[in-house]
Amino acid sequence: MSTPAESTGRTLTVAVLAGGRSSEHEVSLSSGASVSEGLVASGHEVLNVEIGRDGAWRLDGERLSVTPGDGLLGVDVVFPALHGPFGEDGTVQGMLETLDVAYVGADVAASAVSINKVLSKELMSAGGVPQVDYVGVAEDRFRRSGEEVLAQIANLGLPLFIKPAHLGSSVGIVKVSEAERLREALDGAFAHDELVIAEAMAHGVEVECGVLGALESARSAGQPRAVASVPGEIGFPGDWYDFRAKYTAGGMELRVPARISPTATERVKTLALESFIRAGCDGLARVDFFVDGERVVVNELNTMPGFTPTSVYAKLMDASGIAYPQLVDRLCRLALERHGRRRSYRY
């Protein structure tokens, strides 16, 4: 996906949102700091808005107030470097729509669908996208019909994974290898979320692929709506990719390109783009896979992956010919294009 460096055009003023109410608050702050540095390196002006664990928005420590239709701090575009609930789930995106300001990444619907592991899997399943077998469980149903739910989950076999449906970064995930621990794992997941997903154990290597939207100038020249990165392979010391492996120094190793066959590589890239389009994403996404020989299955799609220069998404894009400053610049310009395009419609 190597492309020539794009003209950055006029200088933009960008508000970077970071922090948030979710358990990924600290991860978001790290992403936001890196995004700000990348934007400055690409010649833009940045305002850093921190969202506290209390949900308040602050600039330079002062609490912000906003008015619908008046934008945000007079900026050209907002970069919501937010992860998890109350940031990556459509809530902040809806607020930014109400403010009538351009923003990076997926819109309200795509954000809400993609963060819901059950709903997103049902959407992909309807389109025939290959996935790990799963069972979605609502807490009220489990409390009413526990034995029925346990029997349904048992059909997935052991070991399996229990996950809160709306959290990222492997928060709240438990690997269950013994049937008698299943109820305990479900109770633990319901402490995080009223919707839980049980997933069968997948075999093969974990592979991740970045997707990046194309600017209108490129699309008008015949290029596709989005492009997929070189796939990368995730290596880690344990038997699954947990929070510690993701965020502890040396906890994981990214190998780019992934050590998979040319056929599997093309399949990963094709499914990454298909998942991006089916979910209705804009700008960017990272799609995660399990690859076992020539068999490729989608694990999940992330609309706002970790965004430090050492995060997987940025590394995949860099390996594909798009340096970090160029990446964040393009995402802001994609946001402006979408905002202008949508404002042209009569609702």
Q: Which of 300, 318, 329, 337 is catalytic?
A: 300
Q: What angle do CA 136, 276, 199 make, to 5 degrees?
A: 25
191 class by beta-carbon count within 10 Å (0-12 exposed, 13-18 middle, 19+ buried) = exposed
Q: Give me 289's structure tokens.
A: 């896979």
Bridging pattern class, strands 62-63 and 57-59: antiparallel
Contact in structure between 223 and 338 (CB atoms under 8 Å): no
27 vs 96: CA distance, rounded Å: 22
165 vs 297: CA distance, rounded Å: 19
Phi and psi at 160, nearest 5°, equal: -145, 175
333 vs 340: CA distance, rounded Å: 11
Give yes or no: 302 in active site. yes
Q: Which of 22, 31, 302, 320 is catalytic?
A: 302
Give yes or no: 299 in active site. no
Task: Say how many C-beta atoms besides its own lie within 10 A of residue 101's C-beta.
Answer: 22
Q: Which of 286, 330, 333, 338 is catalytic?
A: 286
Bridging pattern class, strands 102-103 and 77-80: parallel
103 vs 167: CA distance, rounded Å: 22
Q: Which of 288, 318, 329, 337 is catalytic?
A: 288
Contact in structure between 18 and 34 (CB atoms under 8 Å): no
Q: Which of 24, 193, 233, 242 is catalytic?
A: 24
Give yes or no: 169 in active site. yes
**Distance of CA 276 to CAs 67, 90, 97, 240, 324, Å?**
32, 16, 21, 25, 21
99 class by beta-carbon count within 10 Å (0-12 exposed, 13-18 middle, 19+ buried) = middle
Q: Which of 111, 114, 169, 275 is catalytic?
A: 169
Give yes or no: 28 in active site. no
> What is the arrangement of strands in the sheet containing 57-59, beginning at the earlier edge strand?
62-63, 57-59, 45-51, 13-19, 77-80, 102-103
Q: Which of 107, 306, 333, 337 is catalytic?
A: 306
For residue 224, is the peptide bond before it cis, meaning its omega torsion is within 30 degrees of 0? no
Task: Say how many C-beta atoms besides its own lie within 10 A of residue 128's C-beta.
Answer: 9
Active site residues: 24, 169, 247, 286, 288, 300, 302, 306
